[in-house]
Structure 1
Amino acid sequence: MSQSNSGHSGCHSCHHDHGHDHTHGSDGITIRQVTPLIISIIFYSLGLIFGDDLRKAGYEAAEYLLFVPAYLLSGWSVLTSAGRNILKGRVFDENFLMTVATLSAFAIRKLPEAVAVMLFFQIGELFQEYAVGRSRRSIKTALEVRPDYANLQVNGEVKKVSPTSVQVGDIVIVKPGEKIPLDGEIVQGNAQVDTSALTGEFLPRTLEAGEIALAGMINQTGVLTIRVTKPFAESSISKILHLVENASSKKAQTEKFITRFARYYTPIVVVGSLLVALLPPLIIPGAIASEWAYRALILLVISCPCGLVISIPLGYFGGVGGAANRGILVKGATFLDTLASVKTVVFDKTGTLTKGKIKVGKIIPSNGFQPEEMLQLAAAAELHSNHPVAESIRQAHGHNIDASEVEDYEEIAGQGIRVKVRKRQVVAGNDRLLHQENIQHDTCLVEGTVVHLAVDGQYTGYILIEDELREDAASAIQSLKQLGIERVMMLTGDNQAVAAKVAQQLSLDSYEADLLPEDKVNAIERILCQAGKNNRVAFVGDGINDAPVIARADVGIAMGGLGSDAAIETADVVLMTDAPSKVAEAIKVARKTQKIVWQNIALALVIKGLFIFLGILGVATLWEAVFADVGVALLAIFNATRVLK
């Protein structure tokens, strides 16, 4: 499902090595990270308590013995990262900035402040690890549904085996409380299943014989006998796991902006600090060199872009996690940015806005025939057809049909069926077939999909076939319009009459009907041209015929519950429940993520700009600089975690 380069989890995708061993396999803070920090805090506290007394008593070296270990324990990762990056030719990053600032502080005997910069930075990093852990845990709800075993039925016996060893066509038994191990059709039993890990929906669903059960669902009640339809590697859960594990590898434009920003920002700050330290003593009469060196040092500490570098990728990672919590899988941060700019949403019809399960809607008899008799004759006529319309008629009839009563079956391509049922000549098909057979009838144009029926040359009426709208289709369109989406459209291969009816029921802005897959691609091309550069177009579909359009849209959204594999593979966003209302929810999450990211950028730049100005004027002290830097980083981190809620 993923279409990405595997990579970092996203929290440090700005190519800055913070020096931490960010064990991204873990879900947050580890003992290995906390221990050096605790020892550093102990040394630092002792230095603060006894440092002044030791210096006054003439034991200046003892003060260094307390602060230097504290500095090395808290700052070793930053110092080594700065060294490694310099050797790689990446001189100007936040590690370099912090190293220069803290070593300069040591040079002018500001030991507590130097240690504080490193110490508070590491505390900020720990908060970030905790926040990343929360995001990852929300994403890992999908990973936790990986089935551990399957109860394989072989010759009447049940064996516990690995899901990977089960073949297509094998029978598995799923007892109450167990996870469904592979995708398959229920051949026996019915049960309520928990689909929350796959779909984000907490209301249980009832599955019965003949329905499809997906790997990862949890059986809550009865015993299910399932015939496997896909190997484990191709099962829904396997594809979801693959998608989730690679979800954060695509960088958003804002993240790329910060990478470029840091590349230019750091050298400007370093040169600016040098100018603040060197020029005033040369230009301003009576200016004290040590005082201006101190101000330059303050400028260096305040200017560290840690808050931005940490919180922006974290904001996107939180967005991906928050969406996963709601059963929406986003294949990378870049698609959150695109989703936030969507102004046009285009839906496929069948299987997306409708359930894709057609059924007999109305039976309209003619010439004295009864509806029951019509349905019985139509079901017999359609006995050997595999067409979905034929299946819906047989299902509506609901009784077994004696195959010996059906003779001379003839299927006429694109028109219908001619057959003998109990020695009577039956014609079932479209209006064209009636005209071809010269059957007199008073009804030609009917809105929707119809099967006309004639017996022994006499018109008996027609059967109207309907595709049900999804329960949340109308509310989905309404939600999108409330979000300010300018155009909500539909592209369908169905006929004009059916498309017009659905468009009217759902209050769509426009629609195009009678489209082949290549026509849909041409239509989306036109829509993209009309939308303009900054108004993004999303396409929502589920079938294999939707894959090319999903790929062409600015952001392709696939119905993942029972959508086709091709559509899910191609999509940028997968809705794990077949609910069109999730489209509006995905856009909301994306907009909230983007809003939080830009809040963090503005917060960091405004506060830093203010303190840089105060530092140059000599109003801000080094302690205030430390707290301004740490405060910005922590505020940005806490703000970034809001997107999870």
Structure 2
Amino acid sequence: MTKKQKKQLGRILSAIAIFILSSLLLPGPGAKTAGYLVCYAVIGWDIVWKAVKNILNGQVFDENFLMTVATVGALCLGEYAEGVAVMLFYQVGELFQSYAVSRSRRSISSLMDIRPDYANLVRDGKTVRVDPEEVQAGDTIVIRAGERVPLDGVVTDGTSSLDTSALTGESMPRELAAGGEVISGCINQSGTLRVRVSKVYSESTVSKILDLVENAGSKKSKSEAFITRFARYYTPVVVIAAALLAVLPPLILGQGFSMWIERALTFLVISCPCALVISVPLSFFGGIGGASKCGVLIKGSNYLEALADTGTVVFDKTGTLTKGTFAVSGLYPEGITEEELLYLAACAEKDSGHPISRSIRTACGREPDGSRITEVNEIAGHGVAIVMDGKSVLAGNAKMMERENISFTPVNEPGTVIYVANGGKYAGAILIEDEIKDDAAFAIRDLKNSGVRKTVMLTGDADAVGRKVAEKLKLDEVYTELLPADKVSHMEELLKETGANGKLAFVGDGINDAPVLARADIGIAMGGLGSDAAIEAADVVIMTDEPSRIATAMRISRKTLRIVRQNIVFALGVKILVLILGALGFASMWAAVFADVGVSIIAILNAIRALNVPKQEEFSSCGETKVSGTTAAA
């Protein structure tokens, strides 16, 4: 509880004590009246003052005005206990509301508690603690065990493991050594690291994410926009209706004014729109916080609302459904073992920095013996020729085999094929492919189980490669060999097909898919740690790089919308019913208190449920499914 909330709680407890004293212990009506007025001054002075200030500023119709008119009117009619009680219960509701909002914000703040307090800057051989904003790109900082990484950079010395849970929601630490990239916002768990800063604080990952979360509330959903417009017109209408209720019936029916004024004041208390105005934005704020717990950053409640209505999901391939890294997927030796084939290729590719060469050396697992190699010749467009132990070793494409007149067995599989020859004799072939992400197949299945009607892949890769991936993942449609402009054209056609059947989401890596991300109803970027382009380009960022999180975000959005609709129907239903009863004289000021404060508290409690991530089936790294989440869906 904040200092302000504790102060408000003290006022409420003091007012309750004075109210009980006035009601039960003070003798005579004069003493009781004085006690009630003191109680009203203690508990209601700030509401009355806010109403006066707002009137002077031209903002007449708000909840402070409604409560002031209703309670002061009750006091003027001699209903001291009711007038004070209404203000007291209203303040109790305000305290509860403030606490609920604070709890919601704390949930996100603790989740996104990634803002660094300081950086250990190395200056003139000494380590100086400075504000992260003072550090420039190229400077060296020291990050000790237990400290938060203040800035993005590259490790120059030291090994450690990083806790990335604040960014990704994952508990598994990330191992780090010299040459590795560190991302601001993570926590250094073990060793001391020396890091060369690559970005100033304003351009760092932590700064961009904090800005994204802090500004998420500025992009309102249709439901929030409706409530804002509704409250703008609703309050003046009910004030006018209350005034008419106080004046017209006595004039028409010839009855006394006091009874109808009391009904009008009750009408005003009932009409206060707090439950709607607070609970609907709070529900969306909770949904965004719940998604953040799963490593999904949603840039506004409008995108959270759109996710619930997603009917078509379109994927890029490389970096989205696949890892964007090459790996050996097939070995076809002839006359030698698989290990020997890999070692020959690794020796030939020993000095190459190409991703394909690195994948071969990784698969080999043995460090090539450079002392055995006497000559290296890279042949552009063909491959590499070396001399090892006095023999010619070739590693390259089919053109190289044909160029050297070596008879070989073609490998007719999608992917990149490296043919190897040793001493002028064909030794076999190695198939290299971009690896499919571990959870990609589960992600597609989960999306379909979640109600997505169509899954599509748009890729610039060769047709055989694209279709092989699509077949493995059981996608509904695939379009291959596309240029960026072709992707936009296909997106336009898919948008026409989707039409009224929901929203279309495009999932890309946020680097080269900006035009398509912008054109889709919802742009989802597989952001990963530190991908600036992803954070900038998309409406939704999957910080874990796992496509399975998309269905998780959709479930959270649908739960949030259910809560929003429940609150709207409940709040309006109760208010309309009690308004009618109040106008007819069947609802007292106490019923009015429930219709305002009681409904608000119930709606806020319901809204807080959006913070809880439902238990659900998610992908496990072992290839099976698991149940995860923090709290079961209510």
Q: TM range, normalised to the smaller chain?
A: 0.7 to 0.9
The residue type equivalent to 1:242 in the other structure is D
Q: Residue 14 of structure 1 aligns with which residue?
A: none
Structure 2 residue 577 is matched with structure 1 residue 617 = no
Deviation at 1:602, TM superposition (A): 0.6
Q: Residue 250 of structure 1 aligns with which residue?
A: 219
The residue type equivalent to 1:109 in the other structure is G
Q: Residue 635 of structure 1 aligns with which residue?
A: 602
Q: Residue 598 of structure 1 aligns with which residue?
A: 565
Q: Residue 6 of structure 1 aligns with which residue?
A: none
Structure 2 residue 311 is matched with structure 1 residue 343 = yes
Deviation at 1:465, TM superposition (A): 1.0
* Distance (whole Å) between structure 1 residues aligned to residue 75 and residue 345 of structure 2: 93
Q: Which of residues 260, 268, 277 in structure 1 aligns to 2:246?
A: 277
Deviation at 1:149, TM superposition (A): 4.3
User: Structure 1 629/547 Cα, relative in aligned 2: closer, same or farther at 3 Å?
Assistant: same
Q: Residue 47 of structure 1 aligns with which residue?
A: 22
The farther-off stretch of 442-451 and 607-616 is 442-451
Q: Residue 486 of structure 1 aligns with which residue?
A: 453
1:158-194 CA-to-partner distances (Å, cap 9, x unmatched) read 6655544555555555443333343344555544432
Q: Which of residues 160, 163, 167 in structure 2 aligns to 1:198?
A: 167
Q: Residue 414 of structure 2 aligns with which residue?
A: 447
Contact 1:248 1:320 in 2 (8 A): no
Q: Which of residues 493, 508, 517 in structure 2 aligns to 1:526?
A: 493
The residue type equivalent to 1:614 in the other structure is L
* Distance (whole Å) between structure 2 residues aligned to residue 98 and residue 105 of structure 1: 10
Structure 2 residue 383 is matched with structure 1 residue 417 = yes
Structure 2 residue 104 is matched with structure 1 residue 129 = no
User: Structure 1 597/295 Cα, relative in aligned 2: closer, same or farther at 3 Å?
Assistant: same
Contact 1:132 1:318 in 2 (8 A): no
The farther-off stretch of 433-442 and 232-241 is 433-442
Q: Scaled by the length of structure 2, what TM-score is found?
A: 0.86
Deviation at 1:534, TM superposition (A): 6.0
Any idea what SS the aligned residue of 2:486 has?
helix
Q: Which of residues 69, 84, 87 in structure 2 aligns to 1:118?
A: 87
Q: Residue 234 of structure 1 aligns with which residue?
A: 203
The residue type equivalent to 1:116 in the other structure is A
User: Structure 1 593/239 Cα, relative in aligned 2: closer, same or farther at 3 Å?
Assistant: same
Deviation at 1:592, TM superposition (A): 1.5
User: Structure 1 341/432 Cα, relative in aligned 2: closer, same or farther at 3 Å?
Assistant: farther
Q: Residue 615 of structure 2 aligns with which residue?
A: none
Q: Residue 321 of structure 2 aligns with which residue?
A: 353
1:404-429 CA-to-partner distances (Å, cap 9, x unmatched) read 734442322xxx43545458766644
Deviation at 1:257, TM superposition (A): 0.6
* Distance (whole Å) between structure 1 residues aligned to residue 458 and residue 377 of structure 2: 39
The residue type equivalent to 1:515 in the other structure is L
Any idea what SS the aligned residue of 2:83 has?
helix
* Distance (whole Å) between structure 2 residues aligned to residue 37 and residue 314 of structure 1: 24
Unaligned runs of 5+ in 1: 1-25
Q: Which of residues 291, 296, 317 in structure 1 aligns to 2:285?
A: 317
User: Structure 1 76/449 Cα, relative in aligned 2: closer, same or farther at 3 Å?
Assistant: farther
Q: Residue 299 of structure 2 aligns with which residue?
A: 331
The residue type equivalent to 1:409 in the other structure is E
Any idea what SS the aligned residue of 1:618 has?
coil
The farther-off stretch of 612-621 and 421-430 is 421-430
* Distance (whole Å) between structure 2 residues aligned to residue 400 and residue 168 of structure 1: 37
User: Structure 1 640/543 Cα, relative in aligned 2: closer, same or farther at 3 Å?
Assistant: closer
Contact 1:542 1:559 in 2 (8 A): yes
* Distance (whole Å) between structure 2 residues aligned to residue 410 and residue 196 of structure 1: 46
User: Structure 1 166/361 Cα, relative in aligned 2: closer, same or farther at 3 Å?
Assistant: farther
1:367-412 CA-to-partner distances (Å, cap 9, x unmatched) read x355445434433444554432122223334424639734442322
* Distance (whole Å) between structure 1 residues aligned to residue 42 and residue 425 of structure 2: 95
Alignment of 1:354-503 (within 5 A): 354-366=322-334, 368=335, 370-383=337-350, 385-397=352-364, 398-400=366-368, 402=370, 405-412=374-381, 416-417=382-383, 419-422=385-388, 428-431=395-398, 440-443=407-410, 445-453=412-420, 459-503=426-470
Contact 1:184 1:214 in 2 (8 A): yes
The residue type equivalent to 1:136 in the other structure is R
* Distance (whole Å) between structure 1 residues aligned to residue 398 and residue 491 of structure 2: 32
Q: Residue 33 of structure 1 aligns with which residue?
A: 8
Contact 2:470 2:478 in 1 (8 A): yes
Q: Residue 616 of structure 2 aligns with which residue?
A: none
The residue type equivalent to 1:48 in the other structure is S
Counting matched residue pairs gives: 609
* Distance (whole Å) between structure 2 residues aligned to residue 293 and residue 465 of structure 1: 83
Contact 1:185 1:210 in 2 (8 A): yes
Any idea what SS the aligned residue of 1:248 has?
helix
1:18-72 CA-to-partner distances (Å, cap 9, x unmatched) read xxxxxxxx96853343344344334433333357x432xxx2xx44433334334
Contact 1:189 1:223 in 2 (8 A): yes
User: Structure 1 154/289 Cα, relative in aligned 2: closer, same or farther at 3 Å?
Assistant: closer
The residue type equivalent to 2:181 in the other structure is I
Unaligned runs of 5+ in 2: 613-634
User: Structure 1 141/516 Cα, relative in aligned 2: closer, same or farther at 3 Å?
Assistant: farther
Q: Residue 531 of structure 2 aligns with which residue?
A: 564
* Distance (whole Å) between structure 1 residues aligned to residue 551 and residue 45 of structure 2: 46
Q: Residue 10 of structure 1 aligns with which residue?
A: none
* Distance (whole Å) between structure 1 residues aligned to residue 113 and residue 459 of structure 2: 37
Q: Residue 630 of structure 2 aligns with which residue?
A: none
1:81-130 CA-to-partner distances (Å, cap 9, x unmatched) read 33344344443333333233223222322222222222222221211211
The residue type equivalent to 2:235 in the other structure is T
* Distance (whole Å) between structure 2 residues aligned to residue 263 and residue 147 of structure 1: 40
Contact 1:168 1:228 in 2 (8 A): yes
Contact 1:308 1:604 in 2 (8 A): yes
